[in-house]
Amino acid sequence: MEHVLCLIGNPAGASLGETVVQQAHAALAAAGAETASTADWLDPGIACDLGFDGLAPATAVESVRQALADAPVDIVALPTRGRRKKLLVADMDSTIITVECIDELADFVGLKREVAAITERAMRGEIDFKAALRERAAMLAGMDEAVLHRVFEERVRLTPGARRLVMTMRADGAYTVLVSGGFSFFTSRVHQAAGFHRDHANILEVAGGKLTGRVVEPILDAGVKLATLRESAARRNLTLHETLAVGDGANDLPMIEAAGLGVAYRAKPKVAAGAAARIEHGDLTALLYLQGYRRRDFAG
């Protein structure tokens, strides 16, 4: 079969049962696809593949999504050829970690609500990313540098499955990059915690142990994220088809659209609509299942 429909539930709930898989299989057949006779379970109760031919991937996903209605299952169709990727480029805030670091910093000066509102609009693509970052950074002027350490220690947590995703791909020979429109203070630490090869992010200017309220120029934005994907692939003589990019915000969309496997992870509406694959229910190990890894293959 040239294509596979990957069904993924939430590992915390083992939400993918035989009935759901049978409904998906029937929906593919009803839409006119030639289907594999049985499901290939990558992880019983969590993830499985349904091979199919004769149907466009987008049509397959939409047909199955309608059949499953509100079932808490992620549905992604993709080619079987070249499924495992050799480069991972991942966003940090609200993707590899569960929080937006700048919002948490703002909480220490009583401005979380205001800053988070700007963050939300920027991530939805409603306002210019660079201008929004400069505005939010200015609101932190005078903050003691020690607050950055407190936020990292007290509030930054890896998203479930993050380290397993990175370490499994590394064990299989892939190169991994953490790229963020956030700050290098955090990416340098998350890079180590999750196991990435390297990180790339903006730099918060500090003078005399305090934040100046400025971000060192040039600011890393959507264009730089896309360039990081392209340059990282080129350095390793990889085609873009051999790459995976994941993120949640509008500044991630260009790299998600360019990657061989671009994933919107619990993403803003604009990003979810523009990505070929979206994950709303699974954790970050979903990205391993999308590449055909089985549970027994996982590392980390």
Kindly state whether residues 119 and 221 are assigned to the same domain: yes
Which of 81, 98, 120 is the endpoint of a domain?
A: 81
Cα(66)–Cα(51) distance, rounded to whole angstroms?
19
Q: The domain spanning residue 264 has which CATH number?
A: 3.40.50.1000
Kindly state whether residues 106 and 72 are assigned to the same domain: no
Q: Which of 93, 199, 252, 283 is catalytic?
A: 93
Q: Which of 91, 199, 248, 252 is catalytic?
A: 91
Asked whether the beta carbons of 86 and 176 are under 8 A apart, the reply is: no
Signed CA dihedral, 116, 120, 121, 127: sign only: positive
Token pair for 225:
């994220």
Kindly state whether residues 57 and 192 are assigned to the same domain: no
pLDDT at position 70 is 82
**Which residue range is the domain that position 145 belongs to?**
84-300
Percent of residues, the chain, with pLDDT higher than 70: 100
Kindly state whether residues 165 and 257 are assigned to the same domain: yes
Tell me: the pLDDT tens digits for 207-231?
999 999 999 999 999 999 999 999 9
Q: The domain spanning residue 21 has which CATH number?
A: 3.30.70.260
pLDDT at position 14 is 67
pTM (two decimals): 0.97
Kindly state whether residues 271 and 202 are assigned to the same domain: yes
Kindly state whether residues 35 and 158 are assigned to the same domain: no
Which of 53, 81, 109 is the endpoint of a domain?
A: 81
Torsion of the alpha carbons at 275, 281, 286 and 287, rounded to the nearest 10: 20
Which of 39, 56, 81 is the endpoint of a domain?
A: 81
15 pLDDT above the threshold of 80: no
Kindly state whether residues 281 and 141 are assigned to the same domain: yes
Kindly state whether residues 210 and 279 are assigned to the same domain: yes
Kindly state whether residues 61 and 140 are assigned to the same domain: no
Kindly state whether residues 53 and 201 are assigned to the same domain: no
Kindly state whether residues 116 and 77 are assigned to the same domain: no
Secondary structure letter of residue 297 according to DSSP: G
pLDDT, mean over the chain:
97
Band of pLDDT at residue 150, cut at 50, 70 and 90: very high
Kindly state whether residues 50 and 105 are assigned to the same domain: no
Query: Across the chain, which distance is largest between two alpha carbons, in Å?
Result: 67
Give how many domains the chain has, as a whole number.
2
Say whether 103 is catalytic.
no
Nearest CA among 16, 52, 17, 47 for reference residue 31 = 52
Tell me: the pLDDT tens digits for 177-187?
999 999 999 99
Say whether 93 is catalytic.
yes
Report which residue type is found at 149. H
Q: Give strand pairing partners of 90.
A: 178, 246
Question: What residues have CB less than 8 Å from 159, skipping those under 6 apart?
Answer: 95, 96, 97, 98, 283, 284
Token pair for 228:
């990081």
| Gyration radius from the chain CA atoms | 20
